[in-house]
Structure 1
């Protein structure tokens, strides 16, 4: 939660999306390193190695300042000025940007003063729409089959490329995710959030439908995890292509952008609360998805499960078109408060 909110508050609009994608890229690099080390180390050795990461993070955070917006919200003018100067560089002229942040925070406080009671503010359009949008995106992020694809990727890489061990399959999948995340970082501030989300929704639905169709006509049992066939003449490349296509589409659009919009849509004084709420809802959806996937598979078959995910991806596309605003190039404080009220539902 905190890294996404921090990056959103300190970044200028021109690179905010790119910096947000950088978080996902670095996360993928960490996963790739862990998978690579796991091929040579046992679990206890790997745990000791990766334990160095939080230690390094703690030491680095000792030199990182609080965001200017948060400091101004707390009335710490001089500290906010020093923080913004540190972030923009010693030679940067920060007077205009600091004045803009100060003005928007003042307007936000006046807006809250006009709405008696904190409970009333929490139920206003200013907050309910960001909550519904971010939680909706988190729902679609979790219920479009990403967990199942990650789980079955090892089996498919192992059976399709018989010379590749499970660690090689995990590494290959991580490399694809990393490359797609890098591509998303290059496009997100140039193309925009909505086009990438739409492309992601369309491509994921096609990949999931193709995977389910292969499982149906390939005769995969409802309770089987053998997604490929030992027959050398079978079309083992079809599920492999579907996995890679889905991985690219997921990493290009809904995976990084849903997290980015959490930091962009919530008003400053409720950004931490809203981010925690959306992230908690995301983990809840992930838990429910993993726990119910096996039951769905037993009742409707593996093909039915992935066709269901394809249908959810289509609903995700409709949700994006109707409700998700484009935030490319906008100052983060422009969303406080009128922007969120007027643009969170596309017309």
Structure 2
């Protein structure tokens, strides 16, 4: 603990272990609150203004950590930064889906997770050479850049239309599609769809009495549950300690960097494959890799028992976690965020994204806060066997419950859940194939998808 205003240093005694668990999990508590209000904020202020505003508390949180002289201030800083992360994760995927066209919707949606993995790798690399408080100060820079650069981005046309700002929506669409694009027909269709979606009413929880609003929300909660109970936050938050206590032959910091590099490259691969192979294939493959890697790690801990001095198989933790991260990065990392925005109707998208994101962070809190306690209760190997079992259930969930959204318009996806059928007479064949990108009608459907 800190003395005389110095930077806090934590040891392995019981009090400091408790402090570590709160430091590791406190960010998720703030994210839970942020996620709950992200929907109303993005809907009221607009996606663009909301993303700009999020940079303020984000920067404050990092600076509090950078200048902290007690564990309490560190935790407060992490809660504020987590609050901002919850806001961001509830709004950014929606923004991306609403400005993208169908042919690259999956790729752009997966880029959200790619940016997260790049950030994690940067923390691992820079953190290997400098103290954590300097690292927190550096982390404030990207949050400021986000707020500044969002000033130069357009608001989403669908949000502008839903708030009766037709001229601004047309300008936004032209900036996204090209100044020479003919957007008159597209704007007209966008207005018609928005009017049909709202049916003369504003959003209310009563919408979830309708199947095509309720089913996407339930599936979204399932996606977030299995994402977190794969054990991802336990792996990322405690990667260095896992290597330290497992008897790995590599220096823990170097091993963590290797895991971070594997995560980035695998996320790039997943981003490129998501529009080619489809969402369900990637999620199933991801789950299978999770089952194998966490089971292998559990078996390793079972075989070595409490003897962390046996380095004959010190490569197993690194290999297992690399496989785990590759699996997560191609499927369960990026795809859930993308699919929630894809499968949810316009009218309930902000609220469903907020509920799902809040649930995600709730699960993340329990996994990260009680990971150490779980290891004490059911042993290290039992904990990783539990994660393996959850990943096996995730495959069943994907195969039996999830629809495939690859190449489908929003109307087709809503029809799958019993929503209103497309009666506009548009040629959906062009939509699926991504042909004739200059066509206003086709661009309209791509936008709403």
Report the TM-score range of the alignment, normalised by the length of the smaller protein. 0.7 to 0.9
Greater relative contact order (Cα 8 A, min sep 6): structure 1 or 2?
Answer: 1
Q: Which residue of 2 aligns with 1:29?
A: 118
Q: Could you say if the C-alpha distance between residues 29 and 296 of structure 1 is closer, same or farther in structure 2, counting changes exceeding 3 Å?
A: closer
Q: Which residue of 1 aligns with 2:225?
A: 139
Q: Which residue of 2 aligns with 1:296?
A: 374
Structure 1 Cα separation of the partners of residues 338 and 298 of structure 2: 30
* Matched-pair contact (CA < 8 Å) for 2:237–2:368: no
Q: Give the counterpart of 2:254 among 131, 154, 168.
A: 168
Cα drift, residue 119 of structure 1: 4.1
Task: Describe how 1:1-347 pairs up with structure 2 within 5 A.
Answer: 1-110=90-199, 118-155=204-241, 157=243, 159-162=247-250, 164=251, 166-220=252-306, 229-232=308-311, 234-332=312-410, 334-335=412-413, 337-341=414-418
Please, which runs of 5 or more residues in structure 1 have no aligned partner?
221-225
* Matched-pair contact (CA < 8 Å) for 2:249–2:314: no
* Matched-pair contact (CA < 8 Å) for 2:275–2:407: yes
Cα drift, residue 244 of structure 1: 1.0
The TM-score, its normalising length taken from structure 2, stands at 0.68
Q: Could you say if the C-alpha distance between residues 11 and 117 of structure 1 is closer, same or farther in structure 2, counting changes exceeding 3 Å?
A: closer
Q: Deviations over 1:253-274 (max 9, x none)?
A: 0111011112112221221111
Structure 1 Cα separation of the partners of residues 125 and 207 of structure 2: 48
- For structure 1, which segment, 90-99 or 266-275, has the greater mean C-alpha deviation from structure 2 after superposition? 90-99
Structure 2 Cα separation of the partners of residues 45 and 250 of structure 1: 29
Secondary structure at the aligned position of 1:231 is classed as coil
Cα drift, residue 95 of structure 1: 4.0
- For structure 1, which segment, 325-334 or 258-267, has the greater mean C-alpha deviation from structure 2 after superposition? 325-334
Compute the RMSD of aligned alpha carbons: 2.4
The TM-score, its normalising length taken from structure 1, stands at 0.87
Q: How many residues align?
A: 329
